[in-house]
Chains A and B, each alone.
Chain A
Amino acid sequence: MASDSYADWSSQDAVVCRGVGKTWAEGTARAHEALRGIDLDVAPGEFVVLLGPSGCGKSTLLYLIAGLERQTSGRIWAFRDPVEGPSPDRSLIFQETSLFPWLTVWQNVSFGLSIKGAPEAERRAVAREALARVGLSEAMDKRPDELSGGMRQRVAVARALAMRPKVLLMDEPFAALDVQTRAKMQDFLLDVWRDSGASVLFVTHHIDEAVALADRVVIFTARPGRIKSIIPVTLPRPRDPFAPESEALRRLLTEELRSEVDRAFAEQEALAAG
């Protein structure tokens, strides 16, 4: 196996992927390849946006890095350690709201600590601090269904931050929000990211989101997902979405994506027809 040559990997990078591939339902008639040959390094504190057409396997990569699923080929390391399962160091924030409705906001935020058996005083203190960082101190004792969609996602971010993760994995976290809320959430996320010093891997299919957030944009091909190109973004922050540089980047990303979206489209239509 080729991947064995990486067994003694010693990079200090937050995430290192080498030759990572994933085939769902391998060995059955329904088998389909979601990812192939992914090589990706994410530096500590870096903000990387994974951009690609829907269903290209970028979310799958996130799940593999989180350790929630096992890759079928290749290796993944996080800070030198091979990824073999989920870890509080790598927090995943999901697209749909995943707050537990039977817990209050602060209990949700400190859920990870309660798993470890931390005393209530400590859990409250950590929850209070994490909620303050997302600007929701007053929501401590509320229940999730009393919050708006944007507030709920901020609580989800606070819950991830409470674990003091070194890597934040975000799977289209703002997809369900309206455009104005999303723009606010992006600013807020950048603040949180700067304060926490964590690396962020952010999956989206919105080009605007990539332009607003990324240090580097990783563009995926349609199924099976491979890395088509990696585009470094050097625009200073805070970014003006209407600046000519932003416009040029948007155009570049659109060009890069177009052929992949066309291919994904054709494939889906062929699937529907067949």
Chain B
Amino acid sequence: MRSTMASMAALPRPATLLASLGLSPGLRRSLARFGWAALSVGLFAGIWELLWAIGWADPKLLPPPHIFLGNIPDQARYFNTATRWQIGVNPADGPSPYEAVAMTIGATGLRVMVGLLIAATLSIAIGVLIRYFGLFEKLVLPTITLLSPVSPIAWLPVAIFIFGIGNAPAIFMVVIALFFHMVLSTISQIDNVSRAFINVARTMGASKRQIYARVIVPAILPQLLIVLRLNLFGAWMVVLVAESTGVGFGLGQVIMMARNTFNPSLVFFTIALIGLLGFLSDWLLRLVQKRVLYWVPETAGVLRGL
């Protein structure tokens, strides 16, 4: 009781202000959370600006936020990487700068999402098959274990050998970055399914197939979705690496071009964009998790009372 009182007292003034406005508790909570996020980012940006103001951060190398966010249209025109390299196309003919930004974000985001979906489906299926069929396990598991510590970077040439350029190698990179340890994670989740659950199904006459389909798979889904969320950021990292070489456009291309043309402002602008996108996609996946795994209690707040 006392700890709740203490945390109430620690709430920021805006929250009490919002309370007095008569907003619903849920809305108030999300507004407060948004406020804290803004404060956290603002603090980071503020320190950076301060370093610039006292002359420690060289604006040509580490331009502070007000510089790289100050002229968004100017930054946005660099995003038109798709038509930039095409011979005979006037850069002015391409999509407008903002359309180009949207296209770039859409392309990269789609690669991440498609890769994530393929990786999740494939690795859960393979993981279940490995535990289901003893022979399959003996044939496949050693290879998967052997390949799982290989860095995704090492797969980049392979991706280009197999898929050339375009969407395919980037998606392949996302899949390969997640696949191996999601298979291993699936297997360990299967091994951790409560014996009681399985025994209940057995005493009721369930076949092996039924036990897998109706007990084991639903029992492992919650943990797997958490693993997927943790890997989401990994997917965002890998997709940039893939895009920096294999494809015509995408955020990775923008970063690469910014590096080649020595444009720190563009680098930081793109980084800010990627951060925002990663944050949004995590939030999206969390919504999915709440919807699909309705039976899993929310435990995030458990440690907060300490």
Contact = CB atoms under 8 A, between A and B. Distances in A.
A102 B205 contact: no
A93 to B, nearest CB: 9
Interface string B4-34: 0000000000000000000000000000000
Given A87-B205, A115-B210, A94 B295 contact: no
B193 to A, nearest CB: 11
A86 B208 CA distance: 13
A126 to B, nearest CB: 13
A91 B219 CA distance: 22
A88 B203 contact: yes
Contact of B201 (A67, A90, A96, A111): A111
B271 interface: no
Interface string A91-102: 110101010111
A27 to B, nearest CB: 21
Q: Size range of the interface on A?
A: 20 to 34
Chain A interface, >50% SS class? loop
B124 to A, nearest CB: 16
A231 interface: no
A88 B215 contact: no
A94 B205 contact: no
Interface in B176-214: 194, 196-197, 199-206, 210, 214
B218 interface: yes
A115 B206 contact: yes
A130 interface: no
B297 interface: yes
B203 A143 contact: no
A145 B297 contact: yes
Contacts of A115: 201, 204-206, 210, 214
Contacts of A98: 194, 196-197, 199-200
A102 B199 contact: no
Given A100-B218, A102-B218, A112 B196 contact: no
B18 to A, nearest CB: 30
Given A86-B202, A102-B295, A112-B205, A94 B196 contact: yes
A237 interface: no
A131 interface: no
Nearest to A160: B203
A88 B200 CA distance: 10
Nearest to A91: B203
Nearest to B218: A102
A86 B197 contact: no
B92 to A, nearest CB: 56
Nearest to B293: A102
A143 B293 CA distance: 13
A68 interface: yes
A99 B111 CA distance: 39
B218 to A, nearest CB: 5
B174 to A, nearest CB: 29
B200 A94 contact: yes
Nearest to B199: A68
Contacts of B205: 86-88, 112, 115-116
B213 to A, nearest CB: 11
B199 A88 contact: no
Contact of A111 (B199, B204, B297): B204
A163 interface: yes
A66 interface: yes
A132 B72 CA distance: 67
Contacts of B219: 100, 102
Contacts of A90: 203
A86 B202 CA distance: 6
Contacts of B296: 101
Interface string A65-76: 011100000000
Given A96-B196, A102-B218, A143 B295 contact: yes
B43 to A, nearest CB: 38
Contacts of A66: 199, 203
A90 B295 CA distance: 29
A101 B295 contact: yes
A112 B204 contact: yes
25 contacts: A66-B199, A67-B203, A68-B199, A68-B203, A86-B202, A86-B205, A87-B203, A88-B203, A88-B204, A92-B203, A94-B196, A98-B194, A98-B196, A100-B200, A101-B296, A102-B218, A102-B295, A111-B201, A111-B204, A111-B214, A115-B201, A115-B205, A115-B206, A144-B295, A145-B297
Given A92-B203, A100-B218, 12 more contacts: A66-B199, A68-B202, A86-B203, A88-B203, A101-B296, A111-B204, A111-B214, A112-B205, A115-B201, A115-B206, A115-B210, A159-B200
